[in-house]
Amino acid sequence: MTDKRKISEVVVVEGKDDTANLRRFYDIDTYETQGSAISEDDLERIERLNDLRGVIVFTDPDHSGERIRRIIMTTIPTVKHAFLNRDEAKPKSKTKGRSLGVEHASYDDLEKALGHLTSNLDDDTDFDITHGDLIRLGLIGHTDSRQRREYLGQTLRIGYSNAKQQLKRLELFGITLAEVEKIMENYTCI
């Protein structure tokens, strides 16, 4: 690839391998959190970068990555988010280990993630999804609820949420009941 697409925002990743993979395909600046330990200094720097250039949080689709994302999202609600689905972040080679990460993603999967950026709502809206809606749609309280939440998170590209987090995650990204209902119409049991 000779002409790399320029990404103007600073992309927050967990480590140098994530940066290396992104730089294979993009003209990009990253901020590395050095794994799951994110400090107050990191948050101050990320906030400053967000004010200057904008920030895209692009962490791994695992527990540590979600933890970093939540901390940043809580402190700096105006950042954008790129999400890889778990199968897109798996190593392609058995010698690469079993960890999930941005460093394993292909160009096509990175393009999908960066092409579907989401951001938190920064104002009060008429969020219209209730706990009862989640039960009715099978997202909580059913034998296949986990699979349904995975499907919804992958389709919306907002990552996986457990039953306790689901409503808050949908609200944070301004997802409407109509959007969820339309997506879940296409869900088929695995």
CATH at 59: 3.40.1360.10
Q: Which amino acid is at 170?
A: L
60 and 102, same domain (yes or no): yes
Question: Is residue 123 included in any domain, yes or no?
Answer: no
- Cα-to-chain-centroid distance, residue 48: 21
Question: Is residue 28 included in any domain, yes or no?
Answer: yes
Positive or negative: CA dihedral 130, 134, 137, 141: negative
CA angle, 72 then 75 then 76, to 5°: 75
How do residues 94-120 score in pLDDT, each as one tens digit? 655 667 788 888 999 899 888 877 766
90 and 170, same domain (yes or no): no
Of 62, 89, 118, which marks where a domain is finished? 118
| Selection from 2, 5, 3 nearest residue 111 by Cα | 5
How do residues 127-150 score in pLDDT, each as one tens digit? 789 999 999 999 999 999 999 999
How do residues 26-85 score in pLDDT, each as one tens digit? 999 999 998 777 889 999 999 999 999 999 999 988 888 888 988 998 899 889 999 888
Of 118, 148, 166, which marks where a domain is finished? 118
Question: Is residue 124 included in any domain, yes or no?
Answer: no
pLDDT range class, residue 2, cuts 50, 70, 90? low
93 and 135, same domain (yes or no): no
Give pTM, 2 decimals. 0.74
25: Cβ contacts below 8 Å, ≥ 6 apart: 1, 4, 5, 107, 110
pLDDT higher than 60, residue 123: no
The parent domain of residue 87 ranges over 5-118
pLDDT higher than 60, residue 190: no
Q: Cα(92)–Cα(75) distance, rounded to whole angstroms?
A: 34
Q: Cα(138)–Cα(146) distance, rounded to whole angstroms?
A: 9
65 and 143, same domain (yes or no): no
- Cα-to-chain-centroid distance, residue 146: 17
Q: What is the pLDDT of residue 51?
A: 94
Q: Cα(133)–Cα(112) distance, rounded to whole angstroms?
A: 29
How do residues 60-70 score in pLDDT, each as one tens digit? 888 888 889 88
Q: What is the pLDDT of residue 125?
A: 58
Question: Is residue 50 included in any domain, yes or no?
Answer: yes
Residues 14, 101 contacting (CB under 8 angstroms): yes
**Total domains, the chain:** 2
